[in-house]
Amino acid sequence: MTLPLFDDDALAEPSTEVLGPAAFVLRAFALNQASDLLHEIEGVANISPHRHMTTPGGHTMSAAMTSCGQLGWVSDARGYRYVAVDPLTGKAWPAMPDRLRNLAQEAAASAGFADFRPDTCLINRYLPGDRMSLHQDKNESNLNAPIVSVSLGIPATFLFGGIERSEPTRRVQLRHGDVVVWGGEDRLRFHGILPLKPDDHRLVGPRRFNLTFRCAG
Ligand code: SIN
Ligand code: FE2
């Protein structure tokens, strides 16, 4: 077999890194489906476009967001919550494509979470400089279900902390095709994304997409 010399993605090998008792990075787990996933993201964004939401404190979030599934995550002056109707279009969020749901189920199962049935997938789009500050995912009504997070495009530094905001954070490089799964006792760990460095991905361009699957309803 001849390996391309200058293509990092093609050289990435599947492997698992342990971040906690119930938290794992599945390296390159989504790599061979990446172009199909990007196509599905485009389909969702054609119906419910990416938009910059406002935090309850009045700040505009740097990552642009949309959702698919029965519920979508929104933030505005009234707070963070899941809603069945996209406030931008006034219509239901686009259905979760089977390919996305299947990938999330397979990733959850390989991390030890059988029967993961996500009802929402938040799709974040980051440009160089965009970030996400340290937060917990706790707007979901089912905290027994894990979170499955898929990264596509330019790399990002993921911060993975503890259950208290003040605990130290670990830095994890997330690359195109990597999947992170965290649940169980790790479900409420603080996490975030450092400002993305300027970069250009051969398939995705100067952007990063992150898909997070959860059981919210
Ligand atoms: C999130 O916490 O919602 C996004 C994390 C990421 O972009 O990897
Ligand atoms: Fe999050």
Q: Is 124 within 8 Å of 135 (Cβ atoms)?
A: no
The vertex-206 CA angle with 23 and 195, nearest 5°, equals 50
Give the span between the Cα atoms of 48 and 207, in whole angstroms.
18
pTM, two decimals, is 0.95
Map out the domains of the chain as residue ranges.
Answer: 15-214
Q: Domain 15-214: which CATH class?
A: mainly beta
Annotated binding site: 135, 137, 191
CA dist 13 → 115, 168, 204 (Å): 26, 29, 20
Q: How far is CA 26 from the centre of its chain?
A: 13
Q: Give pLDDT tens digits for 160-214.
A: 999 999 999 999 999 999 999 999 999 999 999 999 999 999 999 999 999 999 9
Ligand 1 pocket test target in 149, 170, 171 with most atoms within 8 Å of CB = 149
Within 10 angstroms of residue 71's Cβ, the number of other Cβ atoms is: 26
Position 8 scores a pLDDT of 61
Position 1 scores a pLDDT of 47
Position 7 scores a pLDDT of 54
Q: Which atom of ligand 1 is nearest to the CA of 158?
A: 8
Position 71 scores a pLDDT of 98
Q: Which atom of ligand 1 is nearest to the CA of 135?
A: 2
Q: In what order do the strands lie in the sheet with 64-69?
A: 15-20, 23-27, 179-182, 147-153, 208-214, 120-126, 64-69
Q: How would you label 107-143 residue by residue, b for 16+ Cβ within 10 Å and e otherwise? A: bbeebebeebebbbbbbbbbbeebbbeeeebeebeee
